[in-house]
Amino acid sequence: MSELRALRLPQDIDPIMKVILEGFQYPENPQWSIQADEREGIVDTIKSMKRIYPLYALLGKFSADMRDLYHGFLYVEDNRLVGIVTYSRRSGSQEWFIANVTVIPAYRRRGIARKLVQAALQHIQIRYGKRAILDVIDGNFPAYTLYQELGFEEYSGSVDYFYDQTAQAVTIPEGYAISSLPESDWRTRYELENRITPDYVQKYTPVSELNFRQPFVIRAFMNLYSRMRGEKQEAFSIRDRTTQVVGIASFAARTRPGGVNHIGVRLDPTYAVLAPFMVGHLLNLTQQVSPGRRIEFSIPRWQAALDEAAQAMGANQRCATHRMGIIL
C-alpha cells in the first residue's frame, strides 16, 4: 500500500525529522550527506518547531503569509513514511521555494520524488503561485533530470562552502565605512539587491519591495523562532564615500552547544576590492560570537569576487548547486 497525503501539523513534525535525517544521506557522495554537527542543528530546529507551533497556528488564522510559511506532502509506503516535500511562499509574492525533496535511500528510483513535486506544484497553483524554484546538487543527475522533465529550467546556482579554520582579523579598505544594519531596515536590503541582481536571476526571483517589507508579525515570529533554535543573528552594511550601500553581510551563530554557524554576504560586483574584507570580517566576527564550530555559507555563482575571497581564505568547497525555476 502506498499513500500520498498533505502534511499535517504538528503530528507530522517528528516523522519529518526522521525522514530528513535518513534521506539526506548519500553513500555514494558522503560530502553531500548531513554531518554530525548539522544533525544537532536540525534536531534543535525540529524541537523548536514543536514548541512554537501553537503560536504559528494562532497567527496563521489571521495572516496568509504565516499560513504559507510551511506546506508539504508526505509519501507513505509499506506503512512507513519514506519521502517528503516541503515548500513555502516568499512573503508578499507569488513565488514559492521548494526547500526539501527527500526520499530515503532504500526507496529511491521508484518515482516517489516525481509524485511529491507534482503534488507540490499543483497545490502552489491552487494558492495562486506563479513561479516555483528549487536547488539541486551538482552531480545529482537523477534529480536534475527529473526537474527538467517537470518543466524546471536552470537559471542560476551557487557554491556551498564550510570553514573550520581560525579566521584572522582584517582591516576595512580606506574610504569605506561599516555599520550595524537593523532588521527593520528593509529598504537598504531591497535597494542593494535590486541594483545588483542580474536580470536572468530576476526572471524567476524578481526583486520587489514586498519581498523585503515583511509584516511585523512575520519578523517577530521568525526572531522568536531563531532564539528558540539557539541562534544569535546580526547584520551589517558597508557604504562608500557617497554613503551608498555597496555590501551587506549577516550571520546566524549558535548560542548553545552543537550545530553549525551560518553566514551570508551580498556585494555590488563593482566593489570587488571589498570581498576579502567582507568574507574575512564576517568569519572572524562569527567565531568571536560562537567559537569552535564550523561555519557554512553559500555564494551565488554571479558573485565571483566573493567566491575568490572564500577560496583564498581556505574555505572548503562542499558542493555546487543548480537553482532551477518554473513558470506556472
Q: Where are the domains of the chain?
A: 2-157, 162-321
Q: Could you give the strand order of the β-sheet that contains 71-77, starting from the edge strand earlier in sequence?
A: 2-6, 71-77, 80-89, 95-103, 131-137, 316-327, 153-163, 295-300, 261-267, 245-254, 231-239, 177-180
Q: State the CB neighbour count (10 A cutoff) for residue 17.
A: 17
Please tell me the predicted confidence (pLDDT) of residue 64. 87
Two domains, one topology: 2-157 and 162-321: yes
Measured in degrees and rounded to the nearest 5, phi and psi for residue 88 equal -150, 160
Among 288, 267, 287, CA closest to 277: 267
Per-residue pLDDT of the chain (328 residues; tens, 9 = 90+): 789 999 999 999 999 888 988 888 888 888 888 888 888 888 888 889 999 999 999 999 988 888 999 999 999 998 899 999 999 998 778 999 999 999 999 999 999 999 999 999 999 999 999 999 999 999 999 999 999 999 999 999 999 999 999 999 999 999 999 999 998 999 999 999 999 999 999 999 999 898 888 888 888 899 999 998 889 999 999 999 999 999 999 999 999 888 999 999 999 999 999 999 999 999 999 999 999 999 999 999 999 999 999 999 999 999 999 999 999 9
Residue whose C-alpha cell is 499560513: 67
pTM of structure: 0.92
Query: Which fold does the domain 162-321 belong to in CATH?
Result: Aminopeptidase (3.40.630)
User: How far apart are the C-alpha atoms of 253 and 261, rounded to whole Å?
Assistant: 5
What separation, in Å, do the N-terminal and C-terminal C-alpha atoms of the chain show? 31
- The alpha carbon dihedral of 7, 11, 15, 16 has a sign of positive
Nearest 5 degrees, angle CA 172-CA 259-CA 10?
Answer: 125
Architecture of domain 2-157: 3-Layer(aba) Sandwich (3.40)
DSSP character at residue 5: E
